[in-house]
Structure 1
Amino acid sequence: MRRILLGAAMAAMLAGSGVAPAFAQGNPFQPLVYVNDSAVTRYELEQRIRFLQILRAPDGDRASAEQALIDDRLRIFTADQMGITASDAQIDAGLAEFAGRANLGVEEFVRALSQAGVEQQTFRDFIAAGVVWREVLRQRIVPQVRVSDAEVDQELQRVIETPRITHIALSELIIPAPPGQEAQAMGLAESLVQSVRSEADFAAAARRYSATPSAEDSGRLPWMPLENLPPSLRPIILSMSAGQISQPLSVEGAVVLFFLRDTRGSLRPGAKEQVLDYVRFRLASTADANRIAALSDTCADLFVHARGLPPEQIQRQTLSQSQIPAGDAIRLASLDDNETSVINLGGTADLLMLCSRQPALLAGTAQKPPVAVTAEGEEATAPDPNAVPDREEMRNQIFSRKVGQAADNYLAELRANAIIRRP
């Protein structure tokens, strides 16, 4: 819900920010906006702006920072109405968890913020609003969110049918950041992130600012396998779309920008193979087959009409395409779920109904990952890059996404119903 750039890079950004706070002129405690009679002051806004800038948040401008404070007021107001408060222990845990994302302790993190002009209370207020809001969501939103098996199947099928990126075409821009000039280099990189809108823009910037030989070729690097990238960089590149510039990355002595020109990929092995669940129902005539087909909406309905008949007259099978007789496979190929086809056998007729079709990987027919042996001689499952995500893992991802969407909608509703005014 709150988008903030976190991780190891945060520590370097904190250490190298070197920017003194710049407060607007006038009374720092002047109310700028009231949210249900709770004032947001000029001082709070300046502090939040500085805090977000230090974190290199993409929404660190003045308008976004003010909206974030308004939303925090709404979160706290709602929590108060529900009798929810944040204990010192909960806030301290939140502070530690947040600072830990930068591989820092709370005292180190607070000290770095203080050196950049951000008060500890600003950090604490930020965490406290998040703590109570999570409890609001736990009580009000989470019990209403459900994830069906069909949603899990649909998302798994999307994953299976989406090519895995194997090769990438990148352009690079390396801005030198010698000791004492880290902030200037980061500032230039951030301005480029805001101004670059195309490969041509990035190429021009690379030729002008990049300090590597690739600058002569507009920063263009040759196509390379994704696995050639450092493991820490792969998730960053995979999160980008073709034609997108990365956020600035701090490395020793430089700030790095990447532009993703294009990608190549391939489907997982077996992704094109299908498993079909279908029913074959033998009847006395095509007229009987057509009549029953018209009365049946699902495969289960066919078995209602087959009551009292010998079991060999109706069979339901789940087979891979290669196992289905060619004649049936051809007819099933044109059917959607719960559609039928009648085959005239000259005196009798077969009614075929497709119950469902799904990728073989989703049906669980894929081979198990190879078994590796650890240094201690114990068997361990080797990571399989072609493996389909675990169903529960996918269910949790969908659940988190739905909770996030519901939380955003709820916050928008709170904004619409709040009394927000300026003095």
Structure 2
Amino acid sequence: MRQILLGAAMAALLTGTGIVPDLVAHPAMAQSAGNPFQPVAYVNDSAVTRYEVDQRVRFMQILRAPNADRESAEKALIDDRLRNFAAKQAGITVDDEQIQVGIEEFASRGGLGVDEFVRLLGQNGVDRQTVEDFIVSGILWREYVRARVSPLVRVGDAEVEQQMKNIIETPEITHVAMSELIIPAPEGQEAQARELADRIVQQSTSEAQFAAFARQYSATPSGENGGRLPMMPLANLPPSLRPIVQNMQPGQVSQPLEVQGAIVLFFLRETRGTLRPGATEQVLDYLKLRVASAEEAARIAALATTCEDLYVQARNLPAEQLQHQTLTQGQIPSGEAVRLAVLDDNESTIINYGGAVELLMLCKRSPALLANEPEAPVATSPGEEPTASGDALPQREDVRNQIYNRKVSEAAESQLAELRANAVIRYP
């Protein structure tokens, strides 16, 4: 059975970012003015209080999550109410054992035990109930998605094939050109630094805008040059930073990365890469029909718009007149290869040799790397983890799982948006 990686969605919900939380102590923050239990919103008659918003902000700041502000916290709590409402309607519940396991798992991501985790939260004004509510919402939504959303998701073979082709045709990044912006975040000023970083991310829609912010705010010498760093090998970056850069597109700003005493932003200017070995080689699947005249070939070509149609048109002809070929480009006779080179799938061309005439129809053009199923990685010695070559294609089942989980995530987000649209959300 294919593994359902819904745990990743759960982790993203729990951290707000999907990254491992960096649990550190922060100075206690002042509670917002006014009655702490005053409702700030009603979701289907369930109140979200000022106290809950304060607690969520504190919690997000301890986790060093982006957008740890009151507006984001209020929106997240409203979404939690919607998720809980949907789970309740579906008859889904959470028991004490699940909550305890959730807290243990969450604490372990920061390298802490449960008692140490809870103590750290208490030192920063976050009570255990806040964490439990947070985790319960995540578990309820995970189980709801598992029960109501994931069974409706299907991944077809054609989707896997297309994704495999995309992987083959996408250059593997070897070099990157980035700009950096380092915002000082001394003790007691972390919140201001986060707010500035979020504003820069939102307003930097071009390199020029990012460069202007770097000149104004960056604490490194590169700030004078708009934060520009020279083109560098991807392998020169720290291992923790490489996947972040690989998931960015040129012209995009990274989410704020918190390090000791600073917040770091990167702007990706350019990437350079190379195709994996054999990526440009193709296998052509085509039909070759020999007929008596160019007129007959033209008549059949007008009737046959697919390879299946061509089989139908040739059904009354001697079997040796129709050949089905699946060959690499180097194996195809040059005269045929030149004609096939300009065809798309299910297009045809006629070759008149002055006597016999051939009708060629291309059925499918595929990367040669897909002709042979990628070998599964193997361990080189007992007890060693299996490894694959850096140029190896991923396994089809792995690709299928990736597509499946992406579609589940998208469907879950769509379900949440529908819940939001149908809910009665009021603000006092």
TM-score when scaled to structure 1?
A: 0.87
In structure 2, relative to structure 1, the CA distance for the partners of 1:190 and 1:389 (3 Å cut) is farther
In structure 2, relative to structure 1, the CA distance for the partners of 1:75 and 1:335 (3 Å cut) is same
1:17 and 2:22 matched? no
Q: Which deviates the most, 45-54 or 158-167?
A: 45-54
What is the CA distance between 1:199 and its match in structure 2?
Answer: 3.9
Corresponding residue number in structure 2 for 1:385: 390
What is the CA distance between 1:159 and its match in structure 2?
Answer: 1.9
1:164 and 2:169 matched? no
One-letter code of the match for 2:413? D
Conserved? CA contact 1:175–1:210, under 8 Å? yes
Query: Distance in 1 between the 2:214 and 2:82 partners?
Result: 44
Query: Distance in 2 between the 1:135 and 1:387 partners?
Result: 35
1:405 and 2:410 matched? yes
What is the CA distance between 1:352 and its match in structure 2?
Answer: 1.0
What is the CA distance between 1:208 and its match in structure 2?
Answer: 5.8
Conserved? CA contact 1:282–1:351, under 8 Å? yes
What is the CA distance between 1:278 and its match in structure 2?
Answer: 0.6
Q: Which deviates the most, 296-305 or 43-52?
A: 296-305
1:287 and 2:295 matched? yes
What is the CA distance between 1:190 and its match in structure 2?
Answer: 5.1
Conserved? CA contact 1:173–1:257, under 8 Å? yes
What is the CA distance between 1:380 and its match in structure 2?
Answer: 8.0
In structure 2, relative to structure 1, the CA distance for the partners of 1:7 and 1:107 (3 Å cut) is farther
One-letter code of the match for 1:153? E
The one-character-per-residue Cα deviations of 1:73-97 (angstroms, maximum 9, x if unpaired) are 1111111111111112222222223
Query: Distance in 2 between the 1:120 and 1:344 partners?
Result: 82
What is the CA distance between 1:410 and its match in structure 2?
Answer: 1.2
Query: Distance in 2 between the 1:419 and 1:157 partners?
Result: 45
Conserved? CA contact 1:189–1:257, under 8 Å? no
Corresponding residue number in structure 2 for 1:78: 86
Corresponding residue number in structure 1 for 2:232: 224
Contiguous gaps of at least 5 residues in structure 1: none
1:279-358 equivalent positions in 2, closer than 5 A: 279-307=287-315, 309-358=317-366
One-letter code of the match for 1:66? E
Corresponding residue number in structure 1 for 2:17: 5
Corresponding residue number in structure 1 for 2:189: 184
Conserved? CA contact 1:193–1:246, under 8 Å? no
1:396 and 2:395 matched? no
1:29 and 2:37 matched? yes
1:191-202 equivalent positions in 2, closer than 5 A: 191-195=196-200, 197=204, 198-200=206-208, 202=210
One-letter code of the match for 2:354? G
Corresponding residue to 1:139 among 138, 147, 160: 147
In structure 2, relative to structure 1, the CA distance for the partners of 1:321 and 1:264 (3 Å cut) is same
Query: Distance in 1 between the 2:281 and 2:161 partners?
Result: 16
What is the CA distance between 1:189 and its match in structure 2?
Answer: 5.6
Q: Taking every aligned residue pair, what percent have the same amino acid on both sides?
A: 59
Query: Distance in 1 between the 2:376 and 2:138 partners?
Result: 40
In structure 2, relative to structure 1, the CA distance for the partners of 1:382 and 1:416 (3 Å cut) is closer
Query: Distance in 2 between the 1:352 and 1:175 partners?
Result: 63
1:23-62 equivalent positions in 2, closer than 5 A: 23-26=32-35, 28-62=36-70
1:66-105 equivalent positions in 2, closer than 5 A: 66-105=74-113
SS of 1:15's equivalent in the other structure is coil
Query: Distance in 1 between the 2:191 and 2:47 partners?
Result: 34
SS of 1:343's equivalent in the other structure is strand
What is the CA distance between 1:237 and its match in structure 2?
Answer: 1.9
CA RMSD of aligned residues (A): 2.9
What is the CA distance between 1:401 and its match in structure 2?
Answer: 1.1
What is the CA distance between 1:277 and its match in structure 2?
Answer: 0.7
SS of 1:307's equivalent in the other structure is coil
Q: Which deviates the most, 324-333 or 190-199?
A: 190-199
The one-character-per-residue Cα deviations of 1:225-279 (angstroms, maximum 9, x if unpaired) are 1112222221122223333343444445655443333221122222222111111
One-letter code of the match for 1:404? S
SS of 2:189's equivalent in the other structure is helix
Query: Distance in 2 between the 1:203 and 1:157 partners?
Result: 37
How many pairs align? 413
SS of 1:244's equivalent in the other structure is coil
Corresponding residue number in structure 2 for 1:363: 371
Q: Which deviates the most, 113-122 or 234-243?
A: 234-243
Query: Distance in 2 between the 1:205 and 1:35 partners?
Result: 39
Corresponding residue to 2:286 among 265, 278, 282: 278
What is the CA distance between 1:131 and its match in structure 2?
Answer: 1.0
Conserved? CA contact 1:5–1:56, under 8 Å? no
Query: Distance in 1 between the 2:49 and 2:424 partners?
Result: 17
Query: Distance in 1 between the 2:316 and 2:42 partners?
Result: 74
One-letter code of the match for 2:34? Q
The one-character-per-residue Cα deviations of 1:351-395 (angstroms, maximum 9, x if unpaired) are 1111111222233388x7999955x7x998653222222211111
Q: Which deviates the most, 265-274 or 49-58?
A: 49-58
Query: Distance in 2 between the 1:265 and 1:238 partners?
Result: 11
In structure 2, relative to structure 1, the CA distance for the partners of 1:381 and 1:130 (3 Å cut) is closer
Corresponding residue number in structure 2 for 1:421: 426
In structure 2, relative to structure 1, the CA distance for the partners of 1:215 and 1:254 (3 Å cut) is same
In structure 2, relative to structure 1, the CA distance for the partners of 1:7 and 1:264 (3 Å cut) is same
What is the CA distance between 1:99 and its match in structure 2?
Answer: 2.5
What is the CA distance between 1:25 and its match in structure 2?
Answer: 1.7
What is the CA distance between 1:150 and its match in structure 2?
Answer: 0.9
